[in-house]
């Protein structure tokens, strides 16, 4: 049975030692943590592992959650930071983060860019393909660029909320967002050009 208490009430109870209260928080927000991780790692297993790690870290650091800060926003920050750490580790080990796109996928991305302004509704299967390809494009960006775009458009946080979550100034968030959007646009244009060359 779903626990009807608010997040704040559950956090207070969990701080008091109630494992049941924290389990309720896990059930309520595990999907969100996994969704955040999927923005960085397309493999569901990796995303679920990172989400689980984020929830464990949230449990261990629950005492540091400031009053007035929503648990869900705090969990998003923990998850994003874990994803950034994992990406940095992979980068240091020289692992390949982005697989080569097939000719068919490249042509598909180009076609979607041309039709994006006209499309308002997609079939469920096409939406999944779009998300997967967008994930591959985002992987071409730096971890911080990915984080900013995810918070702006994935979590729909405003500049002030991002600044508060990440400990950045508002102007820093705006600059990062501008650079991230520019980098994403450049990556999309490069994919479009590649698709045209392969199609000709």
Residue found by looking up tokens 């900013």 in the block = 148
Cβ contacts of residue 58 below 8 Å, gap of 6+?
A: 25, 71, 74, 75, 78
Which of 30, 74, 70, 72 lies closest to 52 in space, CA to CA? 30
Phi and psi (nearest 5°) for 18? -80, 110
* Local confidence band at 121 (pLDDT 50, 70, 90 cut-offs): very low
Domains detected in the chain: 1-97 (1.10.1740.10), 99-200 (1.10.10.10)
Q: Dump pLDDT digits (tens) for 4-41.
A: 889 999 999 999 989 899 999 999 999 999 988 888 88
What is the reported pLDDT for 194?
59
Q: Dump pLDDT digits (tens) for 46-99.
A: 889 999 999 999 999 998 998 888 999 999 989 988 988 888 777 665 544 444
Instruction: Indicate whether 117 pLDDT > 50.
Output: no
pTM attached to this predicted model: 0.55
């Amino acid at each position: 049975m779903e626990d009807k208490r608010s997040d704040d009430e559950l956090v207070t109870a969990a701080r008091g030692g109630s494992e049941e209260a924290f389990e309720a928080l896990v059930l309520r927000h595990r999907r969100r943590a996994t969704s955040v991780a999927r923005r960085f790692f397309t493999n569901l297993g990796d995303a679920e592992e990172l989400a689980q790690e984020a929830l464990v870290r949230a449990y261990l650091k629950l005492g540091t959650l400031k009053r007035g800060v929503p648990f869900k926003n705090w969990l998003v920050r923990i998850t994003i930071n874990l994803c950034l750490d994992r990406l940095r580790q992979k980068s240091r080990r020289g692992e390949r983060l982005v697989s080569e796109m097939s000719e068919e996928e490249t042509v598909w991305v180009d076609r979607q860019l041309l039709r994006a302004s006209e499309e308002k509704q997609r079939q469920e299967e096409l939406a999944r393909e779009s998300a997967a390809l967008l994930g591959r494009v985002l992987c071409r960006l730096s971890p911080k660029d990915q984080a900013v775009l995810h918070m702006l458009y994935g979590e729909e946080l405003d500049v002030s909320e991002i600044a508060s979550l990440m400990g950045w100034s508002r102007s820093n968030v705006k600059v990062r967002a501008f650079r991230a959007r520019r980098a994403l646009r450049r990556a999309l244009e490069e994919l479009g050009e590649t698709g045209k060359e392969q199609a000709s």
